[in-house]
Structure 1
């Protein structure tokens, strides 16, 4: 008996050692490309530096104090939050219903693998390509959207230079680009629901609405958590797509904090302020992600 116990302990130690060795490359890469740059970012945020000089001036919290007074900061901050919330809500909601439609079974349903591939296609394109495509479609004179509106005898819309309208246009393009991955995750969640549950619900006389609210949504809670977290983080970090569509115009109304960070770092040569804004964005993303995580995890336990 003692020999068996010793053998089990040795096996556990060996398995732990093997697992750590498998994790070591990932831990090393995360340390080099995430942890160390983050530490450097925090360090730079307390200094005044142009990114070239070999010396840096320590200014404490001065860079953080300057942030609210920088040009257009309030507008960009509000737009970043609104953009992230809007993209997350619409992407997750629409993806959920598209996944439900793609998961339907029946002889009149179009080839589902083909449709799934079409929905996932935007995820294979870079944000730059997506931005160029939507910029062309939003063109006032020759864009396909306004061409269709003219064909329907409707007034064309200035999608790229109108306050409010341009914001909506960017959210639409971003949702289109991000839906594919969410749909794949939702489809995986739908296919993991035991068919016995639907059969039992059918026998009990449950309607489609009852199956949706009492079987599908509760069983899909983990998929919803993953999609909300990943989509919101991606939206807060978005840079190329909104920039290419509108160039931040009109005014600062469609300029995100990520674009302003790039401006301070590579144009204004104010690495301290740029770093402080980056740290602020990291804190915002972390704070909102934690709220989403704990709330959605609590919902999973409730279900």
Structure 2
């Protein structure tokens, strides 16, 4: 039983008209959420907690209005043409079809898998991917959450959103006491300084180029290029990237590939995708 359908059906309405609407909405939700290509009268009664006679009456009205229809066999109720049309228009208003089209164009133009991701804390959630048609390719993993520092999208978001790390000369001791004796933590601090400096340079390079480049640190041989997307919302940060074998995405191709990625990110600017993607 879907919680939303049950809650909706069991609400205490103010009038019989509101009650009918709530019950009809519960039935529509149960049909849409059914994993088996529709639901029978008995199943819908159980799912919504409504008696069979009430469900039968409401189903008749919903079918007459085109919101639901019967399966070819006649024993199951499925989304009707009006409900499907509403769904298509709702999807179109989010900009999601445009996102897929932009990623497909980017994948075709570069020959590499194109993805869009959203920042969540210190990680990036991959939302949509369009695979390359190359035999050797990055497969793309929508739904996977990756640390910001392990993906080109994360580097792009950091470079264009977060202030650069504070600069400190490698080897400079904390506290500024250059005359102090040997510090047992000096090696660890120097290693930390070197890492910070490396990231500082990487973020500056991304800002200079207009896109971020990151090679896989796990020996995968992958290389990623990414650019941030102006989502129109300060609370939802998006980025577009392409990923593929480093041997194909060679240094001499970076500017051309990066220009394609930046153009794809720019083309998504202003589309109403932020809210839709933010709900995934």
Identify whether the pair has TM-score above 0.5, normalized to the shorter chain: no
Q: In proportion to residue count, which structure has more helix? A: 1
Q: In proportion to residue count, which structure has more strand? A: 2
Rg (Cα) greater in structure? 2
TM-score bucket (shorter structure): under 0.3
Instruction: Output the TM-score relative to the length of structure 1.
Output: 0.26
Which structure has more RCO (C-alpha within 8 Å, separation ≥ 6)?
A: 1
